[in-house]
Amino acid sequence: MAEAKPLILIVDDDETASHMLEMALLEVGYEVATAENGALGLQKGSESHPALVMLDYQMPDTDGVSVLQKMRTEAWGKDVPVIFMTNAYEVNVMNLVMELGVHDYILKSDVRIEETVKLVSSYVPAPLPAA
């Protein structure tokens, strides 16, 4: 009787980072969905009801802040934990998304992938132990 694996949704236009994160999350037993832009992220979110969203800030169509604002008005995204990711350190953006209720904020270039996975598991426990 296998329990359903928690689904993590990664919304990031950087395919390499997104793919690496997906790989690392799959290894500790999560299910992963990815979206390479904000609109697709919102669509996949409403279809799949993820347990946690990893949301990139700078994306070409809709930026992470807009996605966050939109998802917070929808049933699936109202309370879901969000880890906000960025590659540029901006205090204003950080303050803004903290107000919008993100659970964590990471500067991608500053964290190892293993730390990122650990951060995810602190909100949604990983089904498998880390290698």
Partner 1 sequence: MVRIAAATKALKLLPAGPPKSNLELTNAWRRIITVLCIGVVIGAGLLYAADRAYREILIARIETLADAVDGQKAASLRLPETAEGDRNYTYFKAKLASIKRANRDLRFVYMMGRAGQDDIYFLADSEKPGSVGFSPRGEDYPEASGQMREAFDTGRTFIEGPSHDSYGFWLSAIAPLRNEATGQIVALVGIDVPASFYFMLLTIAGGLPVLVAGLISGIIWLRAKGRQRLAQGQHFQAEMVSVASHELRTPLTGLRWTQENLLAQKLTKKQKELVGSMYESTLQLQENIEDILQLASKDVGIADRLHSAPTDLRSIIDSVIKTQQLAADTRRIRIILQGEWPQAIRLDADPMHLKRAFNNLVSNAVKYSADGSEVELVYANDHSCHLVTIIDHGIGIPDSEQARTFKGFYRASNAIGSHTPGTGMGLYMTRNIVTGHGGRLWFTSTTRGDKHGTTIFVQLPKHKTR
List contacts with partner 1 (CB under 8 A).
14, 16-17, 20-21, 23-24, 27, 58-60, 63, 87-95, 107-115, 131
- One-letter identity of residue 17: A
CB of 37 to partner 1, least distance (A): 12
Q: Of 77, 70, 107, give the one whose Cα is nearest residue 90.
A: 107
Residues 83, 85, 89, 92, CA torsion sign: negative
Distance CA 38, CA 22 (A): 17
CB of 129 to partner 1, least distance (A): 13
Distance CA 34, CA 126 (A): 18
CB of 101 to partner 1, least distance (A): 16
